Amino acid sequence: MSADRAQQDAPGRLGRSTAIFAFWTGISRIAGLVREIAAAAIFGTSGQISAFVVAFNVPNLLRSLVADSALSAAFVPVFTELEEQGRKKEAQRLAGAFIGLITMALGLISLLAIIAAPWVMPLFAPGLDQELVDETVRLARIMFPIVPLLGLTGLVAALLQAGGRFGATAFAPVLWNAVIILGLVAVTPFVPDEHRIEVYAIAIVVGTLAQLLYLIPSLRGMGPFPISLGFGNRRVRQVLVLMLPVTLGLGLININLTIDTVFATLVSEEAPRAIDAAFRLYLLPQGVFSVAISTVLFPTIARLSARDDVVGMRATLAGGLRQIFFMLLPASLFLLVLAEPVTRLVFQRGEFGPASTALTSEALVFFAIGLAFNGASLLVIRAFFSMQMPWLPTKVALLGVVINVVLDAAFYGPLGTGGIPLATSIASIVTFLVLLRLLDRELGGLHGAWVLDGAVRSLLAAGVSVLLAWATWRVLDDALGRSLPAQIISVGTATLAAVVAHLAAAQALEMRELKALSRLRRPLQ
């Protein structure tokens, strides 16, 4: 197949698998939003919830460094290479070895973290008072067991995705969120106020265990996986060596969020939760679209790399980048223009009042600036991992952390809460441009003109859609007021107007990405 033909067909080829994954990922993001709405109504943006945000970020960071994404990104290329070579039993032994290693190593790390929490956790909350710091320690100790559980979940998900089984891995977060929502809605009303935040922490642990138990039966037919510690296994060492830069590359991205939280504690008691709530809204379109596309394409890119099919990799990556820009540029502009009404509709109730809405929407505006670039980086980073060249994105990720720290320190004082996500967005833009340039060099070209053409067309269509969305919201908001039903109508209609306008503009601009969307009309199987 010619490169030009591959370019034309790439969006359609990835549309079907992406649709299935994106459907369940979208449901999981909506469930996550419901979880955040419940938490916002119960806890607001100050007090115990600030301690919770800090406490959750640390085990979540630890998970990202030694489990889940880092393990998956290092494991999948080696596992798929063995399968491509017809060495299935060796691939199964590799999986069994990592089951043993994760259980032992991450279990020990979790135990040590629980013991060291009184000395470690205060370092992440320099601006909180002593009572909230003590609360942070208690909550972190409850949640540290999610590290080995998420490590095993990440391995199971990697095995399923390597086998082309995306449905179960996309549904698992729905179950996770459902368990937490059940805890927040059904349990907290019967618990004294001072202990409600502990219910939230316990529900996260229970939900994490539930999603692991749900995924395990989906491995049927892929095993057996003889459990060991992998001593003497050359492929285990290969994955571990790959994991070092992958851990840094993906972990440094997550370190940015933790750094943001540390600086947020220096702004105000409310800033950590406001930034966290804005981040959850920011993650919704990214999780539905860029994570779905990157996850679906990762095993394919890894197999193309194992076959040295550079032409196929170029076409697949270029098509994926165009699809991400097509989805995320309109979402970015929509959140930039309608951050406050979106935040008000989603969060403002109970303990989450107008002041919390103003603070959160300010953070959301600045997060939205880097939305499309950060989403596209997820695919580019995985391209390097699939080629087993993880040190290049690792160095770029380190550059991103340095930029983020410097800008956080420069912005948090004069700009307050908004300065912290602005620093993150600028770091995302810089790191994406550097990563793209390096990938273009490594592949001897990445159809850059075609990708740029897609981005420009997507931006033009997004501009049309956001103008219509703002006008629609403005008219309806003035006419209907700010009651909950009125907000649902005004923001919902504006969202629908934006989608219709974007699709119409894309049709007028003859964008090939519409071919992938046409796959959504078919029944998902």
Please state the domain extents for the chain. 3-520
Q: How far apart are CA 74 and CA 67, in angstroms?
A: 10
Q: How far apart are CA 451 and CA 445, in angstroms?
A: 11
pLDDT at 41 over 50: yes
Phi/psi at 352 (nearest 5 deg)? -95, 95
The most distant pair of C-alpha atoms in the chain lies apart, rounded to whole Å, by: 71
Query: What angle (nearest 5°) sits at the alpha carbon of residue 520, between those of residues 517 and 525?
Result: 145
Q: What is the pLDDT of residues 259-270, one digit of tens each?
A: 888 899 898 888
pLDDT at 329 over 80: yes
Closest CA to 155 of 203, 111, 108, 92: 92
Q: What is the pLDDT of residue 28?
A: 79
What is the b/e burial string over 246-281, where b = at least 16 CB atoms within 10 angstroms of the residue's CB? bbbbbbbbbbbbbbbbbbbbbbbbbbbbbbbbbbbb
Task: Kindly report which listed range (200-204, 260-264, 285-289) carries the lowest average pLDDT score.
Answer: 285-289
The two structure tokens encoding residue 490: 């005004």
Higher pLDDT, 178 or 287: 178
Higher pLDDT, 70 or 48: 48
For residue 481, give the DSSP letter.
Answer: -
What value does the mean pLDDT of the chain take?
83
Higher pLDDT, 344 or 158: 344
Q: How far apart are CA 128 and CA 376, in angstroms?
A: 35
Q: How far apart are CA 454 and CA 197, in angstroms?
A: 46
Q: What is the pLDDT of residues 149-164, one digit of tens each?
A: 988 888 888 888 777 6
Bridge partners of 352? Answer: 349
Q: Which residues contact 441 (CB under 8 A, 6 or more apart)?
A: none
Bridge partners of 349? Answer: 352
Provide mean pLDDT across the span 159-186: 84
pTM (2 d.p.): 0.76
pLDDT at 232 over 90: no
pLDDT at 54 over 80: yes
| Confidence category of residue 246, pLDDT binned at 50, 70, 90 | low
Higher pLDDT, 231 or 459: 459
Q: Can you say whether residue 221 is alpha, beta or left, with left for phi > 0 and alpha for psi between -120 and 50 degrees?
A: left
Provide mean pLDDT across the span 399-410: 92
Query: What angle (nearest 5°) sits at the alpha carbon of residue 403, between those of residues 398 and 409?
Result: 125
pLDDT at 65 over 70: no
Percent of the chain with pLDDT over 70: 87
User: 360, 347 in Cβ contact below 8 A?
Assistant: yes
Residue count of the chain: 525
pLDDT at 524 over 60: no
Other C-beta atoms closer than 10 Å to the C-beta of 455 total 18
Q: How far apart are CA 31 and CA 33, in angstroms?
A: 5
The two structure tokens encoding residue 39: 């938490």
Task: Kindly report which listed range (115-124, 216-225, 513-522) carries the lowest average pLDDT score.
Answer: 513-522
| Confidence category of residue 369, pLDDT binned at 50, 70, 90 | very high
Q: What is the pLDDT of residue 252?
A: 62
| Confidence category of residue 76, pLDDT binned at 50, 70, 90 | confident
| Confidence category of residue 11, pLDDT binned at 50, 70, 90 | very low
Report whether the peptide linkage leading into residue 224 is cis, meaning its omega lies within 30 degrees of zero. Answer: yes
Closest CA to 418 of 114, 426, 377: 426
